Amino acid sequence: MLNRIPLVDLKKQYLQIREEINAAIMQVIDETAFVGDPGNRFVGQFETDFAHYIGTKHCIGCANGTDSIEILLRAHGIGPGDEVLVPAMTWISTASAVVSVGATPVFVDIDPIYYTINETLIEQHITASTKAIIPVHFYGNMANMPAIMDIANKHQLIVIEDCAQAHGASINGKKAGTWGQSASFSFYPGKNLGAYGDAGGIVTNSDDIAAHCRMITNHGQAGKHNHQLVGRNSKLDGIQAAILSVKLKYLDAWTEARINNAITYGNLLHGVTTPQTRPNSKHVFHLYVIQVPAREKLLEALKAKNIFAGIHYPVSLPYLPAFASQNYTPAHFPVAYAFQSKIVSLPMYAELSNAEIGQVANVVNEFVKQQQPISAEGAL
Ligand SMILES: Cc1ncc(COP(=O)(O)O)c(C=O)c1O
């Protein structure tokens, strides 16, 4: 039996840094610094380290990358009656967070080459109620932030970047999370920087937004028992913060390994659409997504060889039952609609070896060859 190649292998990464991670966790337990209350030194350290890494003044840890979007929307004053532009193809949180604050997500189709929100379609969706845009740096590829910021400035819209899949990505050396007024990160275990449970973070240069978010995450408190508003409990905990501080030191090296793996895939794969990096930008390959006809059959062929691919995501947001009330047809978002049935996420993680990439590419290439109709000449 061939060795198993999973979509993501968190165990391989853990084994490389096991001593450091175990020591960090033991330190938190030793100090019983479990909850991310103000003053938790592990949370404070990670927030400082991550803000420094991204290049923002503030980082506020929170419970997950869905809460961080919702908390940011609220801190920016977005609520009932407001519309927020989001890409048609993303993880549901980008849009569900908008619904959670009582506002309306307005979908914009994706770019056919880079798969991020199509900036050329944004203006036609802007109405008097539009308040914000949430570009998603999808799969690790940057949305066209220079163009999006121009549109946002022209129409006085707030930009909240969804960086859940793009830790360390950049355009012209300027990182994801520093383009808009604020940005949201997820540290879900499988992310490029992942905790050992759910975790999220907010980054911004605005003192006001940072203070507001901090209050919302901690029951609306400005100080102990000083509840200035009705907030929620969404804190980064000590153990997750300590783990993230260890892992942050390795993030750039892991990202380089992902980029090299993507180059290797690109050199080996034939006859499928491979990911394109936006010019002058750094794609951090959270996912390596190809487009191929007969996608379900390819998944089966890979599985037969003990290779586990994924689909991110099988249905784009406008066509999910959750948004069925809008009655969208394929013509509303033709790129996202066609894309959703062709995509396959191939195994992608820093520790993937060239031999394993070769194994995956062989199965894909063989499959593609078999799918091609035999030409008249070939049939002779
Ligand atoms: C684009 C995007 N936004 C938001 C989220 C939400 O993050 P979390 O799972 O930490 O709530 C995710 C996580 O999958 C994501 O991929």
For residue 136, the ligand 1 atom closest to its alpha carbon is 1
Confidence of residue 76 (pLDDT cuts 50, 70, 90): very high
pLDDT in tens, 181-218: 999 999 999 999 999 999 999 999 999 999 999 999 99
Confidence of residue 378 (pLDDT cuts 50, 70, 90): very low
Long-range contacts of 112-116 (CB under 8 A, 24+ apart): 112/335, 112/339, 113/276, 114/141, 114/143, 114/144, 114/276, 114/278, 115/89, 115/139, 115/141, 115/275, 115/289, 115/339, 116/87, 116/141, 116/142, 116/143, 116/144, 116/278
Measured between alpha carbons, how far is 228 from 275 in angstroms, rounded to an integer? 47
Q: Is the pLDDT of residue 55 over 50?
A: yes
For residue 90, the ligand 1 atom closest to its alpha carbon is 1
Whether the full predicted model's pTM is greater than 0.85, yes or no, is yes
Residue among 161, 188, 311, 345 whose CB has most ligand 1 atoms within 8 A, to mutate: 188
Catalogue all structural domains in the chain, each as residue range(s) with its CATH number.
Answer: 10-248 (3.40.640.10), 251-368 (3.90.1150.10)
pLDDT in tens, 234-285: 999 999 999 999 999 999 999 999 999 999 999 999 999 999 999 999 999 9
Residue 325, pLDDT score? 85
Q: Are 56 and 203 in contact (CB under 8 A)?
A: yes
Q: How many CB atoms lie within 10 A of CB 218?
A: 22
Confidence of residue 326 (pLDDT cuts 50, 70, 90): confident
Q: Which residue from 322, 260, 275 is spatially nearest to 94, judged by alpha carbons?
A: 322
Residue 377, pLDDT score? 52
Residue 1, pLDDT score? 56
pLDDT in tens, 227-239: 999 999 999 999 9
As a whole number, the mean pLDDT across the chain is: 96
Residues with CB under 6 A from ligand 1: 64-66, 90-91, 93-94, 136, 162, 164-165, 186, 188, 198, 200
| 91 Cα–ligand 1 center, Å | 6
Strand partners, 28: none
% residues pLDDT > 90 (the chain): 95
Give the helix/strand (H/E) hosting 75: helix 65-75
pLDDT in tens, 78-103: 999 999 999 999 999 999 999 999 99
| 164 Cα–ligand 1 center, Å | 5
Q: How far is CA 108 from the centre of its chain?
A: 17
